[in-house]
Amino acid sequence: MNVPCVRVPRESGEETRKQLADADLLDHDHQISVVDGDLYIPVVDVDAVPSEFEVVEYEAPDRDTQTNPADILGFEPSYERLGDVVILDEDDDERAREIADAIVASDLRAETVVNRASKIKGELRVRDWDVLVGDSTETVHREYGHEFHLDIASVYFSPRLATERHRVVEQIRPGEHVFDMFAGVGPFAIPAAATGAEVVACDLNESAIEYLRENADRNDVSDRITAIQGDVREVATDYEGWAERLVMNLPHSANEFVETAVRLAADECVVHFYDIQHEDDPFGPGLDAIRDAAEPVFDVEVLEEKVVRSYAPHEYNVCLDVRLARRQ
């Protein structure tokens, strides 16, 4: 059955759909369709459609249930959500575009769809993106009751680590001194402060620290967070012996900062050390680095060895929870 539809190029699809939704003009009984690079968006009142839009008759499929991207594509695409940004990791540009079109045509809420255009690079741990839908890489991500405003083009953030971050935060007690050595926009630091801890959050990325300060205000914990932009090896001079808990989330190179961690550690300190290692010995290199830096000044006790996720074939992203106790 033909129904009235607004026809727009796919590049304008999400913006147009949102505009029609805000005007309460979407026909929710029929599906949005993608044909030859155009979107056909069913509408309920032709006369109310703004004049700048083209309205055509199109045989739009009935909508019986919520439409997912897989319903349109015929296969289950791989993607992750970060706020209202959908992130793809496709080597084939045409396949990425096909998935992006399906996301727009589905009931999945998305303001922006991006495809990874580079690996994480540089000391600020950022990457390039191809923006397929939308015009902004900023978003607000919600995680365990907290909100994080960020721009994926200028800061590093992984939604895949939400459960791991929550695991660590649940160990924190009110009044603890927590030092987040590579804090980003605050996904560890802000929930830690929300427990009542006193938090120092450091990051080399100026943009990340700006977002962190905003996010501290957004989550009402700015009175318990000190956010510092700079190299933690230099910042540590002002906090020697202060930290009762250290978060070292810098896989691949955290071992370069274990001497700094030891300087920061109080007489008793729990360290959450993140690493990426081969499956044959995922925890040994990190533990050796910690012991080399801490002993004999501190006793080193392993509290937990945690595999966080698979990182690459035969490689794991892991966390070592260790307690440092200063020898008398």
DSSP 205: -
- Find the mean pLDDT for residues 294-320: 95
The total number of residues written for the chain in this structure: 328
Percent of the chain topping pLDDT 70: 99
CA 52 to chain centre: 37
Residue 96, pLDDT score: 95
**Secondary structure in 3-state letters for 48-99:** HCCCCCEEEEECCCECCCCCCHHHHHCCCCCCEEECCEEEECCCCHHHHHHH
Residue 182, pLDDT score: 97
Residue 36, pLDDT score: 87
Cβ neighbours, 10 Å, residue 271: 29
Q: What is the mean pLDDT of the chain?
A: 93
All structural domains of the chain? 3-58 (3.30.70.2580), 69-136 (3.30.300.110), 160-326 (3.40.50.150)
Residue 65, pLDDT score: 67
What confidence tier does 13 reach under pLDDT thresholds 50, 70, 90? confident
Residue 209, pLDDT score: 98
- Find the mean pLDDT for residues 145-154: 95
Task: HSE, CB side, 13 Å, CA atoms: give it for residue 36.
Answer: 1
What confidence tier does 64 reach under pLDDT thresholds 50, 70, 90? low
Asked whether the whole model's pTM tops 0.85, one would answer: no
What confidence tier does 252 reach under pLDDT thresholds 50, 70, 90? confident
Q: Model confidence over 155-176: pLDDT tens digits?
A: 999 888 999 999 999 999 999 9
Q: Which of 46-55, 105-114, 194-203 has the highest mean pLDDT?
A: 194-203
Residue 17, pLDDT above cutoff 90: no
DSSP 43: B
What are 50-55's contacts with CB under 8 Å, separation 24+? 50/19, 50/23, 53/6, 53/8, 53/16, 54/6, 54/7, 54/8, 55/4, 55/5, 55/6, 55/7
Residue 67, pLDDT above cutoff 90: no
Which of 1 and 255 is assigned the larger pLDDT? 255
Residue 183, pLDDT above cutoff 70: yes
Q: Model confidence over 264-292: pLDDT tens digits?
A: 999 999 999 999 999 999 999 999 999 99
Which of 123 and 54 is assigned the larger pLDDT? 54
Residue 48, pLDDT score: 86
Residue 276, pLDDT score: 96
Report yes or no: 260 and 239 within 8 Å, Cβ to Cβ: no
Residue 258, pLDDT above cutoff 90: yes
Question: Using CA atoms, how far apart are residues 15 and 10, in angstroms rounded to an integer?
Answer: 10
Q: Is 53 exposed, middle or buried (0-12, 13-18, 19+ CB in 10 A)?
A: middle
